[in-house]
A and B are shown apart, each in its own frame.
Chain A
């Protein structure tokens, strides 16, 4: 069936139908993803409104420098991903390969920085259960007195659940990109069969969009100071 790499699957009438179906399928999957993340965002919002000062205080302690650099890294990877699609469409195989590898590289950089950041967080006692010192927080003044360590922990839990879930999506995306590289090297991604790049691209951009919202919700909710800009 697929042994001869026939492009048109047996059950489609023509390639346009097949392409339309594949893009639409991915968009449907992304609508599911919207609600996967949406459910955590909803929980976050409920507690954000309930414990505003504790959340702001916790947010101010997160590493805004790594967070921001990672945003730029991820946006750049989105650019190279978009360029991969362009390269496939115009049939520039070398550019395609370069862009895909760049995307993987940037994605890897993001994950590497993320791991570094988690390590820093651990050193800074910002990990609930594993490394967290409630007494550090009772000294922190919110707008109306010291913050509640437990509520700070709650914010940090959301930080790990959300960024963790995002990282899992990144890892899946990296796997898909590696598959694309293999396909591209075999010369299987052409001006006619460009859908794999387009569809993986949709997924990759979506993961980027999630991060676009994680940045303000997690890192930028509290007020930072120039001194916070360090690794």
Chain B
């Protein structure tokens, strides 16, 4: 065990390469600074050590030119560090348009993941290599943090709103997924594995998962179950706006402002319908807060996003019995133990 001390984490995403490049730049600059200062201190300490008790010293009070030099010179170096860091940060904040969607819900103490195809996993994330993946994350309880060291990806998962990040894996393999924002007793067990697979393998995996329809299909069922269709129907006497093609459009509101219909807006409108009412409509929608949980919201959103003109369900279409989430054993997904066998301490499963 002691033979191999890891010194550097695996570099498995495009972001990781960029972060590491900046990291090495910082190491070089700061390392030389540290060596310079340590060298000077040691050199002075040795050279000017006290040799006689009555030694005199020159009365040097300072040197303004030197002072201004070391006040201003670091600023230029810092400017480089700032710009470089900000560049990486903004690129991580803006997912490419072709990124594949993955939805993550954190709760004490597990990660629940949904794919657009309807596949669901717990504490595991399967993704294809060399393809950008966009994560939309939220939490059911406290603040968590989705951290994949090999991708240099980290983002706080905050209850009550969506946050987004993205990455593009460059190497197949298994990587750690950590919760890195302290979230209670089993914080250290809120971990999982990211599987980066070859495309074929990934397609196989997708096919092998039992999914009751795609995420949008599941959302469609909920759309019927929650009776959304009663008002948001496609016919003329509808009492609410038609949702076809809504996602991404700019919407005019009653108060004269406009808003882009993004995830956050749709989520808010389901939970707090009165907050931003569309122009020309009465605020009659009831809230679905407490009825739809975070995972169901994601499915509803997936459905609304997928809704093309003419696809609104017919109002009298019968609602299917509600989907049951697969029952979880209290210790989380048993598969998790197989994935990283040594990770789970004996007899300490993450009991909620």
Are A and B direct contacts in the complex by CB distance below 8 Å? yes
Which of A71-79, A117-125, A140-148, A155-163 participates in binding chain B? A140-148
Contact B277 A144 (CB under 8 A): yes
Contact A145 B272 (CB under 8 A): no
Q: Closest Cβ of chain A: how far from B149's Cβ, in Å?
A: 34
- Is B121 interfacial (CB-CB < 8 Å)? no
Closest to A141 in B: B283
B 264-301 contacts with A by CB, 8 A: 272, 274-277, 282-283
Contact B255 A143 (CB under 8 A): yes
- Is B254 interfacial (CB-CB < 8 Å)? yes
Q: Closest Cβ of chain B: how far from A180's Cβ, in Å?
A: 49
- Is B243 interfacial (CB-CB < 8 Å)? no
Interface residues of A: mostly helix, strand, loop or mixed?
Answer: loop
Give the CA-CA distance A150 to B247 in the complex, in Å: 27
> Which of these, B254, B274, B282, contacts A148 with CB under 8 Å?
B274
B 248-272 contacts with A by CB, 8 A: 253-255, 272
Place the interface of chain B in its size category: 10 to 19
Q: Closest Cβ of chain A: how far from B271's Cβ, in Å?
A: 10
Contact B254 A144 (CB under 8 A): yes
Contacting residues, chain A, for B276 (C-beta < 8 A):
144
Closest to A138 in B: B274
Give the CA-CA distance A120 to B128 in the complex, in Å: 63
Contacting residues, chain A, for B274 (C-beta < 8 A):
138, 145-148
Contact A148 B283 (CB under 8 A): no
Contact B253 A148 (CB under 8 A): no
As a 0/1 sequence over residues 152 to 173 of chain B, the CB contacts with chain A under 8 angstroms (1 = contact) are 0000000000000000000000
Give the CA-CA distance A197 to B274 in the complex, in Å: 54
Give the CA-CA distance A145 to B277 in the complex, in Å: 8
Q: Closest Cβ of chain A: how far from B241's Cβ, in Å?
A: 14
Contact B255 A146 (CB under 8 A): no
Closest to B279 in A: A144
Contact A148 B275 (CB under 8 A): yes
Contacting residues, chain B, for A143 (C-beta < 8 A):
255
Contacting residues, chain B, for A144 (C-beta < 8 A):
253-255, 276-277, 283
Contacting residues, chain A, for B253 (C-beta < 8 A):
144
Of B274, B277, B283, chain A has the most CB atoms within 10 Å of the CB of B274
Give the CA-CA distance A138 to B287 in the complex, in Å: 11
Q: Closest Cβ of chain B: how far from A166's Cβ, in Å?
A: 30
B 96-145 contacts with A by CB, 8 A: none
Q: Closest Cβ of chain A: how far from B274's Cβ, in Å?
A: 5
Give the CA-CA distance A147 to B255 in the complex, in Å: 13
Closest to B254 in A: A144
Q: Closest Cβ of chain B: how far from A152's Cβ, in Å?
A: 12
Contacting residues, chain A, for B272 (C-beta < 8 A):
148
Give the CA-CA distance A138 to B274 in the complex, in Å: 9
Contacting residues, chain B, for A145 (C-beta < 8 A):
254, 274, 277, 282-283
B 207-234 contacts with A by CB, 8 A: none
Contacting residues, chain B, for A147 (C-beta < 8 A):
274
Closest to B283 in A: A145
Q: Closest Cβ of chain A: how far from B269's Cβ, in Å?
A: 12
Give the CA-CA distance A148 to B272 in the complex, in Å: 8
Contacting residues, chain B, for A138 (C-beta < 8 A):
274
Of A144, A146, A148, chain B has the most CB atoms within 10 Å of the CB of A144
Contacting residues, chain A, for B282 (C-beta < 8 A):
145
Closest to A145 in B: B283
Closest to A150 in B: B272
Give the CA-CA distance A147 to B283 in the complex, in Å: 10
Give the CA-CA distance A145 to B254 in the complex, in Å: 8
Contact A146 B275 (CB under 8 A): no
Q: Closest Cβ of chain B: how far from A21's Cβ, in Å?
A: 32
Give the CA-CA distance A146 to B275 in the complex, in Å: 8
19 A-B residue contacts at CB 8 Å? A138-B274, A143-B255, A144-B253, A144-B254, A144-B255, A144-B276, A144-B277, A144-B283, A145-B254, A145-B274, A145-B277, A145-B282, A145-B283, A146-B274, A146-B283, A147-B274, A148-B272, A148-B274, A148-B275
Interchain residue pairs A-B with the least CB separation, the first 3: A145-B283, A144-B255, A144-B254
Q: Mark A residues whose CB is within 8 Å of B.
A: 138, 143-148
Given pairs A138-B274, A144-B277, A146-B283, 16 additional interface contacts (CB within 8 A)? A143-B255, A144-B253, A144-B254, A144-B255, A144-B276, A144-B283, A145-B254, A145-B274, A145-B277, A145-B282, A145-B283, A146-B274, A147-B274, A148-B272, A148-B274, A148-B275
